[in-house]
Structure 1
Amino acid sequence: MGELQIATLYSITLGVLPKALRSWRQTHPDVGIRLFEHRHTDELIEAMNAGEADLAVGPEPAGWTGVTRTLGTEELVVVVAADDPAAVGEDIALKDLADRAWVHYTPGHGLADVLDIACAQAGFEPRVAVRTEQTAAAPALAAAGLGPALVPDNILPKDFDGHILHPQPRVHRTLTAYTRGEPDPLAAAFIDVLVWSSRAAGTRS
């Protein structure tokens, strides 16, 4: 018996964690899980510094002095409606979407920064068609025709009815599990499950 406390981001609860938690429950059915979900990496790091959880799962934390273990590289993709003019082929240059209004994220959401930085590197500032607080809403809004969205590829269901494009240059972030000090045996065991499930899911390591 016991409880494992995990701090993470909303998008990671959707993408990386479900497979790992399913495997964990099969081997540790008596251990409860409590998730503390945050919008931004900075909030996640601050919460971990304050002792919120046993471990964190999120993008690589800059300047972290505790223990960090790399899980792999999370790819982000561009989603558009199936009938969108850009829905051709598998790749797209982000600069080719410079004149479009985007499905964006609310200020303070970590993926808002990711999109803004990717577009800036491509030479433009994204115009906003709609902003959403919910990571899961972004691909649905894009598939409905409101504009392109940049989303982690691992949050998209297999039967997703939008069109998926791989941005050029590619957009990605390194995902890690980290703790303030040496993880206790329960946290260390869960990190091992995370590493295995990330590799099984095809996350680049």
Structure 2
Amino acid sequence: MLLLSWSLILATVLGMLLTRMKLAKGRFWQGLANLYLNLVRGTPPLLMLLLSYYGLPVLLKLISINIEHWTRLMFGVFGLTIGWSAYLAEAFRSAYLSVDPGQLEAARSVGMNNRDALFRIILPQAAVNALPNVENLVIGLVKATSLVYVLGLFDMYNEAANLSNQTAGIHQLQIFVLLALTYWLIVLIIEAIFRQIRKHFALMA
């Protein structure tokens, strides 16, 4: 749960920053964001975790930064954060662009400044529009946490596999069915949370 929470929080923050860069008027920031998004979205999550664990320490050592003291959890969080920040950035960007730009002009015409118009009119609508995509990405992140076994981290999948080995595979089917049901329960909880968020925004509208 710690892995999921930190990965989601950091990926959201980084995704917002990437969205801001993508929507910036300067070609440098747009180009940098596009390069990041294309590289990350073209890299499988499993490979991203392996690159984070084995490649990042080597890369940072070239500029005299030593991260060998990092725990495997930190590398897992870093790998998932990098991967999901790109997907979230695209979800945020498409949600922002889905809001009619004419509303910004209308806000200006009644004397509202750009900052107030952005935070009081544009972003609330963009947040509602982003919810379906963000919900799917959170569910995908839950499933992706099972990949951290490649770093030696013990998650639900690892525990299930170890339990299956301890019983010589006799109860393997039952163990993995229970694991699938556990993931399903987590997904149901996430769906319930997002359903409540949508209801909250609907009441505010």
Between 1 and 2, higher relative CO (CA 8 Å, sep ≥ 6) is seen in 1
Greater percentage in helix: 2
Higher Rg = 2
Q: TM-score, normalised by structure 2?
A: 0.29
Q: TM-score, normalised by structure 1?
A: 0.29
